[in-house]
Amino acid sequence: MRSSRGFVPRRASASVSVSAWSVARRALLLLTMVALGAAGPACKTVRTRTPTVTVDTGERKVPFKVELAITPQEHERGLMYREHLAPDAGMLFISESPRRQVFWMKNTLIPLDMIFIGADWRIAGIVENAEPKTLSAREVAAPSQYVLEIGGGLSARYGIRAGQAVDFQAGATAK
Protein backbone atom coordinates (compact mmCIF):
# COMPACT_ATOMS: atom_id res chain seq x y z
CA MET A 1 0.00 0.00 0.00
CA ARG A 2 1.32 3.45 -0.86
CA SER A 3 1.00 6.62 1.10
CA SER A 4 -0.18 9.79 -0.62
CA ARG A 5 3.50 10.59 -1.29
CA GLY A 6 4.19 7.27 -2.87
CA PHE A 7 6.63 6.04 -0.25
CA VAL A 8 6.29 2.29 -0.07
CA PRO A 9 7.18 1.14 3.45
CA ARG A 10 9.04 -2.13 3.79
CA ARG A 11 6.85 -4.90 5.15
CA ALA A 12 8.75 -6.01 8.25
CA SER A 13 7.50 -6.93 11.66
CA ALA A 14 6.39 -3.92 13.67
CA SER A 15 8.89 -4.58 16.44
CA VAL A 16 11.85 -4.71 14.02
CA SER A 17 10.68 -1.60 12.15
CA VAL A 18 10.10 0.43 15.32
CA SER A 19 13.40 -0.72 16.78
CA ALA A 20 15.34 0.23 13.63
CA TRP A 21 13.67 3.64 13.46
CA SER A 22 14.35 4.15 17.16
CA VAL A 23 18.04 3.42 16.67
CA ALA A 24 18.19 5.69 13.62
CA ARG A 25 16.51 8.55 15.48
CA ARG A 26 18.84 8.17 18.47
CA ALA A 27 21.90 8.12 16.20
CA LEU A 28 20.69 11.24 14.38
CA LEU A 29 19.96 12.99 17.70
CA LEU A 30 23.42 12.09 19.02
CA LEU A 31 25.10 13.34 15.83
CA THR A 32 23.11 16.56 16.01
CA MET A 33 23.99 17.10 19.68
CA VAL A 34 27.68 16.52 19.03
CA ALA A 35 27.59 18.78 15.97
CA LEU A 36 25.85 21.51 17.95
CA GLY A 37 28.32 21.27 20.81
CA ALA A 38 25.90 19.90 23.36
CA ALA A 39 28.54 17.39 24.43
CA GLY A 40 30.40 19.81 26.64
CA PRO A 41 31.45 23.35 27.56
CA ALA A 42 34.52 23.32 25.26
CA CYS A 43 32.33 24.68 22.46
CA LYS A 44 31.73 28.36 23.15
CA THR A 45 29.84 29.32 20.01
CA VAL A 46 27.60 27.31 17.81
CA ARG A 47 26.73 28.32 14.30
CA THR A 48 24.17 26.10 12.60
CA ARG A 49 23.81 25.67 8.87
CA THR A 50 21.45 23.70 6.73
CA PRO A 51 22.52 20.10 6.01
CA THR A 52 24.21 19.79 2.62
CA VAL A 53 24.40 16.99 0.07
CA THR A 54 27.23 17.41 -2.45
CA VAL A 55 27.43 15.46 -5.70
CA ASP A 56 30.91 14.99 -7.18
CA THR A 57 30.42 14.92 -10.96
CA GLY A 58 34.14 14.44 -11.59
CA GLU A 59 34.34 17.93 -13.10
CA ARG A 60 32.95 19.81 -10.11
CA LYS A 61 31.22 19.40 -6.79
CA VAL A 62 27.56 20.44 -6.78
CA PRO A 63 26.14 21.25 -3.31
CA PHE A 64 22.45 21.21 -2.37
CA LYS A 65 21.08 22.58 0.91
CA VAL A 66 18.59 19.96 2.01
CA GLU A 67 15.70 19.40 4.32
CA LEU A 68 15.71 15.93 5.83
CA ALA A 69 12.81 13.48 5.56
CA ILE A 70 13.43 10.78 8.16
CA THR A 71 10.10 9.74 9.66
CA PRO A 72 7.29 8.04 7.71
CA GLN A 73 5.25 11.25 8.04
CA GLU A 74 8.10 13.32 6.59
CA HIS A 75 8.49 10.79 3.76
CA GLU A 76 4.79 11.00 3.04
CA ARG A 77 4.73 14.81 2.92
CA GLY A 78 7.99 15.29 1.02
CA LEU A 79 7.93 18.37 -1.21
CA MET A 80 4.17 18.35 -1.72
CA TYR A 81 2.41 21.70 -2.18
CA ARG A 82 5.66 23.61 -2.81
CA GLU A 83 5.35 26.17 -5.58
CA HIS A 84 9.09 26.82 -5.86
CA LEU A 85 12.38 25.13 -5.04
CA ALA A 86 15.64 27.08 -5.18
CA PRO A 87 18.23 25.65 -7.62
CA ASP A 88 20.59 24.85 -4.74
CA ALA A 89 17.90 23.28 -2.52
CA GLY A 90 16.37 19.84 -2.14
CA MET A 91 15.09 17.20 0.21
CA LEU A 92 16.98 14.10 1.33
CA PHE A 93 14.82 11.07 2.15
CA ILE A 94 16.60 8.74 4.56
CA SER A 95 15.56 5.10 4.87
CA GLU A 96 16.66 2.66 7.55
CA SER A 97 18.30 0.32 5.02
CA PRO A 98 18.82 -0.04 1.26
CA ARG A 99 15.78 -1.22 -0.69
CA ARG A 100 13.80 -0.51 -3.81
CA GLN A 101 11.94 2.76 -3.34
CA VAL A 102 8.93 4.11 -5.22
CA PHE A 103 7.67 7.70 -5.30
CA TRP A 104 4.83 9.50 -7.01
CA MET A 105 3.99 13.18 -7.53
CA LYS A 106 0.27 13.33 -6.64
CA ASN A 107 0.31 16.64 -4.73
CA THR A 108 3.70 17.88 -5.87
CA LEU A 109 3.33 21.10 -7.87
CA ILE A 110 6.79 21.35 -9.46
CA PRO A 111 8.84 18.94 -11.60
CA LEU A 112 11.61 17.16 -9.70
CA ASP A 113 14.70 15.08 -10.36
CA MET A 114 14.92 12.11 -7.99
CA ILE A 115 18.46 10.94 -7.31
CA PHE A 116 18.50 7.47 -5.75
CA ILE A 117 21.63 6.94 -3.61
CA GLY A 118 22.94 3.61 -2.31
CA ALA A 119 24.28 2.88 1.16
CA ASP A 120 27.76 3.38 -0.32
CA TRP A 121 26.86 7.03 -1.12
CA ARG A 122 27.01 6.46 -4.88
CA ILE A 123 24.17 7.35 -7.20
CA ALA A 124 22.20 4.18 -8.02
CA GLY A 125 19.96 5.88 -10.60
CA ILE A 126 18.05 9.04 -11.46
CA VAL A 127 14.48 9.82 -12.43
CA GLU A 128 14.64 13.11 -14.33
CA ASN A 129 11.89 15.72 -14.62
CA ALA A 130 9.19 13.77 -12.80
CA GLU A 131 5.91 15.26 -13.95
CA PRO A 132 3.94 17.04 -11.20
CA LYS A 133 0.46 16.03 -10.04
CA THR A 134 0.65 12.46 -11.34
CA LEU A 135 0.36 9.00 -9.82
CA SER A 136 2.96 7.34 -12.07
CA ALA A 137 5.44 5.25 -10.09
CA ARG A 138 8.96 6.74 -10.06
CA GLU A 139 11.73 4.27 -9.23
CA VAL A 140 15.07 2.87 -10.37
CA ALA A 141 16.03 -0.80 -10.63
CA ALA A 142 18.80 -0.70 -7.99
CA PRO A 143 18.19 -0.55 -4.23
CA SER A 144 18.83 2.78 -2.50
CA GLN A 145 18.96 4.01 1.06
CA TYR A 146 18.64 7.70 0.27
CA VAL A 147 16.74 9.72 -2.29
CA LEU A 148 17.67 13.32 -3.05
CA GLU A 149 14.92 15.36 -4.69
CA ILE A 150 16.02 18.51 -6.52
CA GLY A 151 14.48 20.79 -9.11
CA GLY A 152 13.52 19.17 -12.39
CA GLY A 153 16.25 19.32 -15.03
CA LEU A 154 19.11 20.09 -12.64
CA SER A 155 20.67 16.62 -12.96
CA ALA A 156 21.15 17.11 -16.71
CA ARG A 157 22.27 20.72 -16.28
CA TYR A 158 24.99 19.80 -13.77
CA GLY A 159 26.02 16.50 -15.39
CA ILE A 160 24.82 14.35 -12.49
CA ARG A 161 24.79 10.64 -13.42
CA ALA A 162 24.56 7.16 -11.92
CA GLY A 163 27.78 5.96 -10.27
CA GLN A 164 28.92 9.39 -9.05
CA ALA A 165 29.90 9.90 -5.42
CA VAL A 166 27.75 11.86 -2.98
CA ASP A 167 28.78 13.44 0.34
CA PHE A 168 26.59 14.53 3.27
CA GLN A 169 27.47 17.31 5.72
CA ALA A 170 25.27 17.47 8.83
CA GLY A 171 25.18 21.25 8.69
CA ALA A 172 26.41 22.39 12.09
CA THR A 173 29.72 23.93 13.03
CA ALA A 174 30.87 24.32 16.61
CA LYS A 175 33.56 26.85 17.54
CATH no. for 14-174 = 2.60.120.1140
Residue type, 100: R
Percent of the chain with pLDDT over 70: 70
d(CA 72, CA 90): 18
What is the pLDDT at residue 5?
Answer: 44
Q: What is the mean pLDDT of residues 58-63?
A: 97
What is the pLDDT at residue 102?
Answer: 96
Is pLDDT of 61 > 80? yes
pLDDT band of residue 33 (cuts 50, 70, 90) is very low
pLDDT band of residue 9 (cuts 50, 70, 90) is very low
pLDDT band of residue 8 (cuts 50, 70, 90) is very low
Residue among 113, 107, 71 at smallest CA distance from 89: 113
What is the pLDDT at residue 10?
Answer: 35
For residue 122, the cross-strand partners are 165
Q: What is the mean pLDDT of residues 66-74?
A: 96
* pTM recorded for the entire structure: 0.74
What is the pLDDT at residue 18?
Answer: 45
**Run of H or E including 20:** helix 14-35
CB 123 within 8 A of CB 160: yes
